[in-house]
């Protein structure tokens, strides 16, 4: 990887490698307007922020849907007058009229700098004590659910942050966020581009989650760790409805909490929009929130200076009390927050299956960038009871940095479990942590100076937790005290870098009982010592203990139970092992985590004792819906099973025949003819789409058996690149084509959806692709398809292009320069066969 | 931009002018009057034309449709605006919705709304949970992905039908009749008109709907629609959806595939494409 790409993927590491310095962000590194504002940020003083701008602007007759930020330039007097009314009502912070002033929303209407300069000037003119630059959402949804990349969002926010500081803002308010990834991008941009204090709030629905599923806890711990100086809730609902969510935030962060509630829902009375909570009721409800511990208060939609003056009164009458939260290790995804309190023994299972070491299928999936396979592994670990997922994509020949970023992004869409980034290259670790919407774990740092210097700044800067391995340049100490000494060194270095000890897990490193039997007891003692002396959480890769011994799972389970007894908090295990999960679930009864043993009883009340079971266990679990008996011996049955879409039975039939019949014979005489027949029936209309796909799934199950049998000697007919074009997010059709082509023996590089032309060109060149399949579902994205074809023609003249999608027709396909038009997936497969056979397709 | 020509701009009754928000529980969630996924529609979206289906496939489809119905709760919002006829930047007549920045271009929207006194605009979505569910189904395999997609489409259409009926009912109470609903991106109404519509409904904030640069909605299982409200009978508005009056029928990609962009109003009309 060259230096420019490191600078993009991992700017902090790039800077450190270039000899640059880094120091943790504290209140002392910020430009804070005065001692009073500093007292606010230290939680010693209340602060009153103004109320709604939109409501006030609408009262002046602004049409719904116009860019209100431009009024700071076009109607300065009106905007200033609104600010003046809030100042007069007692607002200490005036929020400049810049909420949607980003390059994306402003377009050509004005520059970001112009709008921030004008808006901040209007707030100053009004006599504001503090002026806040206001940053709202970009208006576009971030990947993986949307199309905007984290880096693009960051750039939009960075431009706003610089403009706000240049125009003389005293602080930045980031608000109304529903996407934790976007909120993080904004906080990071302000933190990296300015020295201003950051107040960050998100918007929650009645179910206690944002539209993207973020909980108050996940938002609070993530934004706190990243460096927001106050976190909180705005907009959403009325203050009474918000109060329980505020309490949830108060319990997980010691940062000041900010609240700007709505005045209820709008309705129209005599032609005017009104809100259903009046100033007195509103202030009364906010007073309760302030009593709970929130210290920065203001209004949102529907509030006016009348509300602000009551808030100012209640803030003046009170001084925030000192809040103490129970220390806990918190790990968060955008949807879920896992907490391990320091003073209670709780267990979090870290799933270890997303690590290619010794896993051939995962290795293959990573090589082919088959992210669906990673997603399915993540989902099954979640179902099996994992709380956190370790992610390791390290294979010698692959680009770990890019893969780590891509895998992390894909997993965010398919699992709600927090991730643990497992890599040795600091660039890969930083690239993933920088863009992760949550508070992940870094696996790992060790006691060697080189490791500490490279990894601790990343954990500190991005607000990640960190696993510290008790080894250094001298190796792993033999005694518990030796391990404790390294752990102590790691904790000291981390705290010096601004990482509190609640964010540290120590791994005392499991040795193999077969070679270091005397060490096993030392490891357990080290776990206890580290917890007692340092007050940090502990983790262990449990299964190492049994290496080289028989009945590994038995030994591992016993060791796991012992380690939990010694105080282990976060075992790294395979949650697919019932034996380990039996230990976990029973220990959660013993440590009091499973209150009333409810979960244990629900799971085991009617479960048979595994040791009482008959010895003859079924060889393979049958698919739930497919329990019909297997007809073996009859080779023709494979064809029938594929055509009728019976996945489990096809797999078993192929398994039964594989040792008797030549693999190629199975493919060429049975599976492929079956697929051809399915294609013909689909064309004739006697099968419909799900039946075609079920057949393809059945055939795939058969091919998987054959490939496993042949091992790496399985040849492919050629490589095909598939993508849904840029701007389009429909991928069902493309995925069907992918499965069919894989069945026909092609190696498919699936680039996913919303793919830039450049990425397709790069894939074609890197893998010497002969055929590219492009899909577009909307008329609006066909131009992107045309552009992709044009770029391919220019840069890879030999490549053929096949297109498909609901809005395409043969004429349209020709017009945009495609070689082939496939009306459906079955035809795409036939076109591919013809293309690779160099035959014209008729 | 040329100012709207004030034309029949009567103030709306407060009840109609108030933005409405909807939480549409499904039957599967235990709400007896809730909305339900029409299984026949699910099959239709999957390209079903009367083929024989075995029980295993039927079970798979039913299982996924049921799972999604239980997991999802559609949310929606509607708002009624007075209709004004204006001229757009290129000098063509267009429809403007008073008090909003919505400007609807093309002959279809013009034909449907020019005689309306007001227009109801609404948005409904299955929420981000539907996106996550669809991703999880995709990881299970293409059959699950396609069935899930079809089931979600049928569910969001059912939700749109419910809001459509609610608005129709509210308008009827004030003596207004309602035309057939239509959406940006169909006929010659450009998809780009959708942006102002999403803004006017404040749908990003109230429903979590965002627009991709290509103007596609995310969550993808979201619907926006516009429906003319008339004093007296709906004028220039086909009583049932068909391709007959559509301005782009000859170059239509849906029709090229033997499909239509609209949904038949009743099961009996389904075969007539």
- pLDDT, tens digit, for every residue of A299-321? 998 899 999 999 999 999 999 98
- How many residues does this entry show for chain B? 273
What would the two tokens of residue B184 be? Answer: 């940006």
Q: Could you tell me which of A644, A826, A842 has the C-alpha nearest to residue A744?
A: A826
Q: Which residue has the tokens 């709400």?
A: B31
Residue A124, pLDDT score? 97
Cβ burial of A154 (10 Å; 0-12, 13-18, 19+) is: buried
Residue A296, pLDDT score? 98
DSSP B136-159: HHHHH-HHHHHHHHHHHHHHHHHH
Say which residues have a Cβ less than 8 Å from residue A14's Cβ, sequence separation at least 6: A3, A6, A7
- Indicate if the pLDDT at residue A533 is higher than 70: yes
DSSP B80-97: EEEEEEEE-TTS-EEEEE
Residue A106, H or E segment? helix A103-106
Cα–Cα distance, B155 to B125 (Å, whole number):
10
Residue window 736-765, chain A: list those with CB within 8 Å of chain B: 736, 739, 754
- Indicate if the pLDDT at residue A828 is higher than 70: yes
Q: Which residue has the tokens 């400049």?
A: A96
A679-689 pLDDT, tens digit per residue, is: 889 888 888 88
Does residue B62 fall inside a structural domain?
yes
A258-273 pLDDT, tens digit per residue, is: 999 999 777 666 666 6
Q: How confident is the model at residue B262 (pLDDT cuts 50, 70, 90)?
A: low
- How many residues does this entry show for chain A? 842
Does residue B121 fall inside a structural domain?
yes
Say which residues have a Cβ less than 8 Å from residue A284's Cβ, sequence separation at least 6: none
Instruction: Tell me if chain A has a CB within 8 Å of the CB of B269.
Output: no
CA-based end-to-end distance of chain A: 46
Q: Answer whether A646 sits within 8 Å of B18, measured CB to CB.
A: no
Cα–Cα distance, B82 to B95 (Å, whole number):
10
- Indicate if the pLDDT at residue A85 is higher than 90: yes
Choice between A581 and B257, residue whose per-residue pLDDT is larger: A581
Does residue B247 fall inside a structural domain?
yes
Q: Which of B19, B59, B143 sits opposite A266 (nearest CB)?
A: B19
Question: How far does A91 lie from chain B, in Å, by closest CA?
Answer: 25
Cα–Cα distance, A628 to A647 (Å, whole number):
12
Residue A496, H or E segment? helix A480-496
Residue A301's alpha-carbon distances to A56, A120, A261, A309, in angstroms, are 9, 21, 8, 16
Q: What is the mean pLDDT of residues B242-263?
A: 67
Question: How far does B145 lie from chain A, in Å, by closest CA?
Answer: 7
Choose, out of B84, B126, B139, B145, the residue to mutate when testing the contact with A (most A CBs < 10 Å): B139
- Indicate if the pLDDT at residue A839 is higher than 50: yes
Q: Could you tell me which of B193, B187, B235, B232 has the C-alpha nearest to residue B215?
A: B193
Does residue B4 fall inside a structural domain?
no
What range does the domain containing B57 cover? 22-257
Q: In this structure, are strands B93-97 and B103-104 parallel, antiparallel, or unpaired?
A: antiparallel
A42 DSSP 8-state letter: T
A608 DSSP 8-state letter: P
Q: What is the mean pLDDT of residues B79-86?
A: 90
The b-or-e profile of B45-63 (16+ CB within 10 A means b, else e) is bbbbeebeeeebbeebbee
Question: How far does A807 lie from chain B, in Å, by closest CA?
Answer: 5
Cβ burial of A92 (10 Å; 0-12, 13-18, 19+) is: buried
Does residue B96 fall inside a structural domain?
yes
Cβ atoms of B8 and B117 closer than 8 Å: yes
Three-state SS string over B21-72 comes to: EEECCEHHHCCCCCECCCHHHHHHHCCCCCCCCCHHHHHHHHHHHHHHHHHC
Choice between A322 and A27, residue whose per-residue pLDDT is larger: A27
Instruction: Tell me if chain B has a CB within 8 Å of the CB of A321.
Output: no
Residue A628, pLDDT score? 40
Q: What is the mean pLDDT of residues B68-80?
A: 94
Residue A614, pLDDT score? 53
| Domain total of chain B | 1
DSSP A739-778: HHHHHTTEEEEE--SSB-HHHHHHHHHHHT-SEEEEE--S
The b-or-e profile of A14-32 (16+ CB within 10 A means b, else e) is bebeeeeebebbeeeebeb
Q: What is the mean pLDDT of residues B124-142?
A: 89
Q: Answer whether B146 sits within 8 Å of A739, measured CB to CB.
A: no
Residue in B closest to A690 by C-alpha: B143
Q: What is the mean pLDDT of residues A31-45?
A: 96
A335-378 pLDDT, tens digit per residue, is: 999 999 998 999 999 999 999 998 988 998 998 888 888 999 99
Q: In chain B, which residues have their Cβ closer than 8 Å to the Cβ of A238?
A: none
Instruction: Tell me if chain B has a CB within 8 Å of the CB of A50.
Output: no
Cα–Cα distance, A534 to A511 (Å, whole number):
22
Cα–Cα distance, A412 to A144 (Å, whole number):
7
Does residue B118 fall inside a structural domain?
yes
Q: Which residue has the tokens 């679990």?
A: A621
Residue A335, pLDDT score? 94
Cα–Cα distance, A232 to A255 (Å, whole number):
10
Cβ atoms of A509 and A470 closer than 8 Å: yes
Q: Which of B143, B207, B212 sits opposite A727 (nearest CB)?
A: B212
Q: In chain B, which residues have their Cβ closer than 8 Å to the Cβ of A203?
A: 205
Q: Report cis status (omega within 30 of 0) of the bond before A444.
A: yes
Q: In chain B, which residues have their Cβ closer than 8 Å to the Cβ of A58?
A: none
ipTM topping 0.85: no
Name A330's bridge partners. A339
CA angle at residue A725 from A720 to A731, to 5 degrees? 80
Residue B245, pLDDT score? 66
Residue A834's alpha-carbon distances to A41, A664, A771, in angstroms, are 68, 20, 11
Q: How confident is the model at residue B6 (pLDDT cuts 50, 70, 90)?
A: very low
Q: Which of A66, A212, A690 sits opposite B143 (nearest CB)?
A: A690
Q: Could you tell me which of A735, A648, A760, A642 has the C-alpha nearest to residue A695?
A: A642
A547-562 pLDDT, tens digit per residue, is: 989 999 999 999 999 9
The radius of gyration of chain A from alpha carbons, rounded to an integer in Å, stands at 30
Q: How confident is the model at residue B251 (pLDDT cuts 50, 70, 90)?
A: low
Does residue B267 fall inside a structural domain?
no
- Indicate if the pLDDT at residue B2 is higher than 60: no
Residue A669, pLDDT score? 86
Q: What is the mean pLDDT of residues A597-623?
A: 70
Instruction: Tell me if chain B has a CB within 8 Å of the CB of A659.
Output: no
Choice between A340 and B213, residue whose per-residue pLDDT is larger: A340
Q: Which of B128, B253, B259 sits opposite A212 (nearest CB)?
A: B128
Q: Which residue has the tokens 């929303």?
A: A105
- Indicate if the pLDDT at residue B272 is higher than 60: no
Q: What is the CATH number for B93?
A: 3.40.109.40
DSSP B233-245: SPPS--SS--STT
- Indicate if the pLDDT at residue B105 is higher than 70: yes
pTM of the model: 0.85
Does residue B224 fall inside a structural domain?
yes
Q: Which residue has the tokens 């495609």?
A: A818
Cα–Cα distance, A479 to A499 (Å, whole number):
27
Q: Which of A213, A694, A739 sits opposite B128 (nearest CB)?
A: A213
Q: Which of B14, B53, B138 sits opposite A268 (nearest CB)?
A: B14
Residue A764's alpha-carbon distances to A248, A723, A728, A738, B78, in angstroms, are 50, 12, 20, 16, 47
User: What residue ranges define each of the domains in chain A, with the CATH number in brackets?
Assistant: 38-316 (3.20.20.330), 328-607 (3.20.20.20), 636-711 (1.10.1240.10), 717-836 (3.40.50.280)
Instruction: Tell me if chain A has a CB within 8 Å of the CB of B191.
Output: yes
Q: Which of B17, B132, B208 sits opposite A268 (nearest CB)?
A: B17
Q: In chain A, which residues have their Cβ closer than 8 Å to the Cβ of B145?
A: 732, 735
Cβ burial of A47 (10 Å; 0-12, 13-18, 19+) is: buried
Cβ atoms of A418 and A381 closer than 8 Å: no
Cα–Cα distance, B5 to A80 (Å, whole number):
31
Residue A44's CB is within 10 A of a number of other CB atoms, namely 14
A68 DSSP 8-state letter: G
Say which residues have a Cβ less than 8 Å from residue B259's Cβ, sequence separation at least 6: A806, B273
- Indicate if the pLDDT at residue A620 is higher than 90: no
Cα–Cα distance, A419 to A438 (Å, whole number):
9
Residue window 42-61, chain B: list those with CB within 8 Å of chain A: 46-49, 51, 53-54, 56-57, 59-61
- Indicate if the pLDDT at residue A380 is higher than 70: yes
Name B78's bridge partners. B20, B122
Say which residues have a Cβ less than 8 Å from residue A582's Cβ, sequence separation at least 6: A557
Q: Could you tell me which of A148, A160, A214, A506 has the C-alpha nearest to residue A340?
A: A506
């Amino acid at each position: 990887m060259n230096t420019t790409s490191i600078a993009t993927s991992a700017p902090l590491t790039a800077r450190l490698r270039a000899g640059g310095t880094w120091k943790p962000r504290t209140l002392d590194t910020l430009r804070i307007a005065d001692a009073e504002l500093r007292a606010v940020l230290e939680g010693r003083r209340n602060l009153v922020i103004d109320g709604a701008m939109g409501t006030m602007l609408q009262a002046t007759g602004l049409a719904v849907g116009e860019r209100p930020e431009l009024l700071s330039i076009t109607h300065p007097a009106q905007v200033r007058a609104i600010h003046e009314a809030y100042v007069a009502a007692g607002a200490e912070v005036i929020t400049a009229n810049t909420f949607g002033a980003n390059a994306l929303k402003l377009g050509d209407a004005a520059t970001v700098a112009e709008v921030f300069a004008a808006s901040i000037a209007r707030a100053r003119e009004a006599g504001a004590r503090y002026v806040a630059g206001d940053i709202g959402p970009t208006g576009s949804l971030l990947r993986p659910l949307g199309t905007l990349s984290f880096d693009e969002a960051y750039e939009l926010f960075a431009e706003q942050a610089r403009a706000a500081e240049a125009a003389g803002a005293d602080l930045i308010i980031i608000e109304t966020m529903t996407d934790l990834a976007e909120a993080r991008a904004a906080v990071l941009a302000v933190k990296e581009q300015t020295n201003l204090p950051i107040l960050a709030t998100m918007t929650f629905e009645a179910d206690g989650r944002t539209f993207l599923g973020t909980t108050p806890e996940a938002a609070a711990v993530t934004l706190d760790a990243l460096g927001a100086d106050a976190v909180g809730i705005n907009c959403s609902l009325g203050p009474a409805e918000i109060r329980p969510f505020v309490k949830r935030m108060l319990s997980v962060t010691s940062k000041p909490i900010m609240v700007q509630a709505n005045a209820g829902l709008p309705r129209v009375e005599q032609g005017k929009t009104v809100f259903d909570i009046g100033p007195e009721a509103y202030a009364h409800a906010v007073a309760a929130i302030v009593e709970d511990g929130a210290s920065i208060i203001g209004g949102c939609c529907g509030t006016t200076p009348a509300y602000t003056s009551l808030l100012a009164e209640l803030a003046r009458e009170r001084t925030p009390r000192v809040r103490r939260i129970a220390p806990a290790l918190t790990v968060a995804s955008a949807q879920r927050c896992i907490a391990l309190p320091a003073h209670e023994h709780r267990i979090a299972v870290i799933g270890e299956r997303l690590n290619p070491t010794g896993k051939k299928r995962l290795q293959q999936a990573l090589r082919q960038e088959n992210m669906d396979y990673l997603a399915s592994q993540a989902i099954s670990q979640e179902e099996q009871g994992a709380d956190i997922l370790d992610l390791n994509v390290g294979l010698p020949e692959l680009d770990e940095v890019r893969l780590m970023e891509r895998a992390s992004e894909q997993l965010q869409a398919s699992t709600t479990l927090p991730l643990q980034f497992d890599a040795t290259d600091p660039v890969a670790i930083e690239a993933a942590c920088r863009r992760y919407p949550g508070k992940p774990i870094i696996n790992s740092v060790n006691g060697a100076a080189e490791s500490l210097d490279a990894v601790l700044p990343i954990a500190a800067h991005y607000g990640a937790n960190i696993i510290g391995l008790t080894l250094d340049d001298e190796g792993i100490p033999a005694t518990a005290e030796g391990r404790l000494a390294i752990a102590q060194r790691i904790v000291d270095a981390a705290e010096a870098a601004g990482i509190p000890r609640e964010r540290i897990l120590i791994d005392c490193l499991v040795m193999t009982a077969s070679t270091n039997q005397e060490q096993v007891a030392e490891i357990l003692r080290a776990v206890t010592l580290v917890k007692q002396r340092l007050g940090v959480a502990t983790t262990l890769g449990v299964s190492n203990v049994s290496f080289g011994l028989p009945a590994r799972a038995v030994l591992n389970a016993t060791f796991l139970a012992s380690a939990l007894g010694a105080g282990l908090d976060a075992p790294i295990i395979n949650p697919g092992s019932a034996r380990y999960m039996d230990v976990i679930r029973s220990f959660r009864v013993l440590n009091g985590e499973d209150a009333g043993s409810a979960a244990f009883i629900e799971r085991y009340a009617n479960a048979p004792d595994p040791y009482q079971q008959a010895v003859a266990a079924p060889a393979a679990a049958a698919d739930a819906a497919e329990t019909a008996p297997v007809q073996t011996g009859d080779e023709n049955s494979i064809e029938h099973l594929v055509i009728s879409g019976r996945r489990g039975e096809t797999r078993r039939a192929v398994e039964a025949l594989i040792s008797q019949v030549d693999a190629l014979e199975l493919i060429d005489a049975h599976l492929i003819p079956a697929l051809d027949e399915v294609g013909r029936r689909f064309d004739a209309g006697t099968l419909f789409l799900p039946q075609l796909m079920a057949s393809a799934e059945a055939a795939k199950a058969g091919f998987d058996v054959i490939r496993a049998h042949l091992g790496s000697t399985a040849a492919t007919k050629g490589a095909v690149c598939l993508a849904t074009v840029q701007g389009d997010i429909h991928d069902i059709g493309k995925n069907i084509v992918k499965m069919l082509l894989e069945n026909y023996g092609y190696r498919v590089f699936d680039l996913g959806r919303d793919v830039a032309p450049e990425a397709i060109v790069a894939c074609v060149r890197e893998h010497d692709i002969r055929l590219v399949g492009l899909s577009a579902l909307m008329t609006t994205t066909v131009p992107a398809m045309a552009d992709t074809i044009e770029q391919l023609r220019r840069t890879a003249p030999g490549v053929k292009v096949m297109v498909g999608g609901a809005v395409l027709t043969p004429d349209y396909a020709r017009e945009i320069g495609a070689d082939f038009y496939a009306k459906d997936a079955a035809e795409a497969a036939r076109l591919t066969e013809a293309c690779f056979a160099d035959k014209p397709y008729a | 931009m040329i100012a709207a020509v004030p034309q029949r701009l009567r103030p709306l009754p407060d009840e109609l002018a108030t933005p409405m928000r909807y939480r549409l529980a499904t039957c599967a969630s235990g709400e007896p009057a809730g909305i339900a996924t029409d299984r026949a529609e699910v099959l239709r979206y999957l390209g079903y034309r009367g083929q024989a289906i075995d029980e295993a496939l039927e079970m798979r489809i039913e299982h996924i449709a049921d799972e999604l119905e239980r997991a999802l709760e559609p949310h929606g919002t509607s708002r009624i605006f007075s209709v004004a006829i204006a001229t757009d930047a290129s000098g063509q007549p267009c429809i403007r919705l008073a008090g909003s920045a919505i400007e609807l271009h093309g002959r279809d929207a013009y034909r449907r709304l020019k005689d309306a006194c007001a227009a109801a605009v609404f948005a409904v979505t299955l929420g981000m949970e539907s996106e996550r569910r669809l991703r999880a189904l995709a990881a299970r395999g293409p059959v699950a992905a396609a069935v899930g997609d079809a089931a979600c489409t049928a569910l969001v259409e059912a939700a749109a039908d419910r809001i459509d009926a609610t608005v129709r009912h509210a308008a009827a109470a004030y003596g207004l009749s309602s035309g057939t609903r239509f959406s940006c991106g169909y006929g010659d109404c450009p998809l780009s008109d959708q942006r102002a519509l999403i803004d006017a409904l404040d749908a990003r904030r109230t429903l979590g709907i965002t627009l991709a640069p290509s103007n596609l909605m995310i969550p993808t299982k979201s619907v926006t629609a516009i429906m003319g409200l008339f004093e007296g009978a709906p004028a220039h508005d086909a009583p049932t959806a068909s391709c007959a009056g559509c301005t782009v029928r000859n170059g239509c990609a849906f029709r090229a595939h033997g499909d239509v962009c609209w949904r038949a109003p009743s099961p009996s009309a389904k075969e007539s494409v």
